[in-house]
Amino acid sequence: MKENSIRRAVREGRVALGTGLKEFSSRGIPWIIEASGFDYCTIDHEHGAFDLETIADLAGWFQATNVSAIVRIHKSFIHLIPGILDQGIMGIQVSEVDTPEEARAIVRESKYPPIGNRGIAGQGPHTGYKSYGARHLSEYAPWANENIIVCPSIESLEGLDNVEAIAAVDGIDMIAYGHSDLSARLGVHLELEHPRFKAAVRKIAEASNTHGKLARGSAETEAQIEEYWRLGCKVLNLPGNDVSTYLDGLKARAGRAHARLESIGVPTP
């Protein structure tokens, strides 16, 4: 059983850097993400097309690296959490959490007793196919409760109003926010330098730190990397995902080729 890479980075005094998957699910992806210097990766079940079997494959491939995989789901699907975690996924991010009651419901599905009520399964990917038997509650469950990150995401004005109470819920490990949805609800969609949005991020970070929870910032610029670290965000999600990274890389290569061809008089699109 490996320590969650988010926990490890924070314990070592580093920022835990994250990226995301929305489209690609081949076995080489976790190795590429590790080689790129990331600590964790979010698999997007909410907006991506990953089914449980694909998530299980990715979980196994990520286990061969030092990068921990977490899955993002919408709160409408929290009944899927036990099955997802039993595939060896190391964290759950739940979108649009608005109340402490919703946060407690997520904890019940995600944490073993005495914190939550996650159902106990025997041998499987989550235990490395080892059987803990009667030792489950004394050996595996405490490790899982500590290492599997439970992270509600604040994406509404109601959630922002309740963030202090959400952060206070026992079993919540980290608080995130959806920068696109939250900024839209604030009336400043993707104006990430707007004072209203900056104040919201500050409020989320302060609530997280006050209650001993990790704060996960979404740093869209290099300046925000430093700014959010100083706010107390020890976990940073960097811009984009597999789609935007691939698209940006291909555009850059094609752009250089078109520029060179134009320089010698060859027509380009």
Rounded to two decimals, the pTM is: 0.95
136 is catalytic: no
Q: How confident is the model at residue 1 (pLDDT cuts 50, 70, 90)?
A: confident
Name residue 68's beta-bridge partners: 40
- 179-221: pLDDT as tens digits: 999 999 999 999 999 999 999 999 999 999 999 999 999 998 8
What is the distance between the alpha carbons of residues 136 and 197, in angstroms, rounded to a whole number? 44
Two structure tokens written together for 245: 């990274």
Mean pLDDT, range 115-140, rounded to an integer:
94
Beta bridge partners of 150: 92
Residue type, 122: G
Instruction: Say which of 47, 74, 136, 189 is annotated catalytic.
Output: 47
In terms of C-beta density within 10 A (0-12 exposed, 13-18 middle, 19 or more buried), how is residue 11 classed? exposed
Domains assigned to the chain: 5-238 (3.20.20.60)
